[in-house]
Amino acid sequence: MNRRSFVKAAAAAPVAAGALAAPAAGATFETKILRLNLLHTWTTTMSSSAYRDTLHTAYTRDGITGHGEGAPIVRYHEDAQGAQKAAESVRDLLLSANPMQFSKVMGEVFKRVQGEWAGKAAIDIALMDWVGQKLGIPLYSYFGLDPKDTPLTTFSIGIDTPEITRQKTKEAADFPILKVKVGLATDEPTIEAVRSVTKKPLRVDANEGWKDKEEAVRKINWLESQGVQFIEQPLPAEMIEETRWIRSRVHIPIIADEACQRASDIPKLKEAFDGVNVKLDKSGGILEAYRMISIAKSLGMKTMLGCMVSSSVSVTAAAQLSPLVDFADLDGNLLIGNDPFHGVTVEKGKLMLPNRPGLGLSK
Ligand code: MG
């Protein structure tokens, strides 16, 4: 057997464990699509919308219910229906598996479901919420973290007219650091509108909006003069070599977001980026996000936790890992008007984790 066929055979072997045990008595797994209404129409380089649909899951066993959520990302060709279909496709596995073997269970889910990262995140989060509740400890304790170590979160200002940008900046008075979306033709007026209201430190996200490396260098150096701390994803994800070129010509850190979906993406980004933005919806849940943070740290890169527009389920799940990271942008739940849960809160920008088992959610 040569190396290639040996590797193939080894990868295929665990699939033989296809004979599932019977579903556990009283175990249920529910999925539903929830429409989250945005307080402000949300515009980035990618889209503009007044609402977002996310997939919500509830895994019940032994009288305990774990809640999960995944926000499908259009950038990766996902939608809520696809996420729901993916989650439903592993229902039998979830109902018959031992949830305390969550790492094995999620390994099997990742093997069976191709793509559909938001769907996988919704499963992983529900499972980990259940595990934390079963053990009677908050998830941050399960990961050995101190809730006092949570970073400040930024509050995000989407792309808008200078007048609305000024208004949004005023509304964000409680947040000591703001994240401003740029990447369209209006970058300078947007930053000037923010600066006309506040002197706070800013972080800027171009969402792959600039296409030219010289233009990106000019913009980043101007942003530095405006008190910007770092720039997220200046060029399209695939322009890694050009980003490395930019990095040698600017002073502020460059953080990968769209270029960094999963753990396996990280090593090739090391020369071009100073850090990575990890999101549960991109990675497929808490377990993979934890791996991504560990790998980035081991490579000496900065780490950030971000989120999509989503409810307190997904944002609180990400916040459980936030004591590990340098930067947080966990405000997706603050952008909506119909959050079905309470979880992590924010006091003067500081993420405050609930001191309750699992995610610590309440209705
Ligand atoms: Mg981003």
Dump pLDDT digits (tens) for 14-62: 544 445 678 888 899 999 999 999 988 777 666 678 899 999 999 999 9
Ligand 1 center to residue 255 CA distance, Å? 9
Largest separation between any pair of C-alpha atoms in the chain: 68
What does the pLDDT average to over 195-211?
94
Q: How far is the CA of 234 from the centre of ligand 1 (A)?
A: 10
The yes-or-no verdict on residue 149 having pLDDT over 90 is yes
What is the DSSP secondary structure assignment for residue 218, as one 8-state letter?
Answer: H
- What whole-number percentage of the chain has pLDDT above 70? 93
Tell me the CA–centroid distance for residue 210 and ligand 1, in Å. Answer: 13
Cα of 274 vs centre of ligand 1, distance in Å, is 14
- pLDDT computed for residue 41 by the predictor: 77
Beta-carbon contacts of 267 under 8 Å, excluding residues fewer than 6 positions away, are 295, 299
pLDDT band at 147 (very low <50, low <70, confident <90, very high): very high
| pLDDT given at position 10 | 59
Are 61 and 130 in contact by the 8 Å Cβ rule? The answer is yes
Mean pLDDT of the chain: 93
Q: Separation of 231 CA from ligand 1 center, angstroms?
A: 9
pLDDT at 16: 43
208 Cα–ligand 1 center, Å:
9
Per residue in 313-348, pLDDT (tens digit) is: 999 999 999 999 999 999 999 999 999 999 999 999
Q: How far is CA 114 from CA 53, 61, 242, in A?
A: 21, 26, 30
Tell which wins on pLDDT, 126 or 183: 126
Question: Cα(163)–Cα(196) distance, rounded to whole angstroms?
Answer: 11
Q: Which two three-digit tokens encode residue 300?
A: 């000496």
For residue 4, report the distance from its CA to the centre of ligand 1, in Å: 37
Q: How far is the CA of 154 from the centre of ligand 1 (A)?
A: 12
pLDDT digits (tens, 9 = 90+) for 2-11: 777 666 665 5
- Report the separation in Å between the CA atom of 203 and the middle of ligand 1, taken as the mean of its atom positions: 10
Q: What is the predicted pLDDT for the residue at 175? A: 95
* The pLDDT value given to residue 17: 47
Quickly state the pLDDT bin for 159 (edges 50, 70, 90): confident
Q: Looking at the predicted structure, is the pLDDT value of residue 105 above 70?
A: yes
Q: What is the 11 CA–ligand 1 centroid distance (Å)?
A: 34
What spacing in Å lies between the alpha carbon of 261 and ligand 1's midpoint? 11
> Ligand 1 centre from 9 Cα, in Å?
39
- pLDDT tens, residue by residue, 240-273: 999 999 999 999 999 999 999 999 999 999 999 9
- Ligand 1 mean position, distance from CA 16 (Å): 40
Tell me the CA–centroid distance for residue 62 and ligand 1, in Å: 39
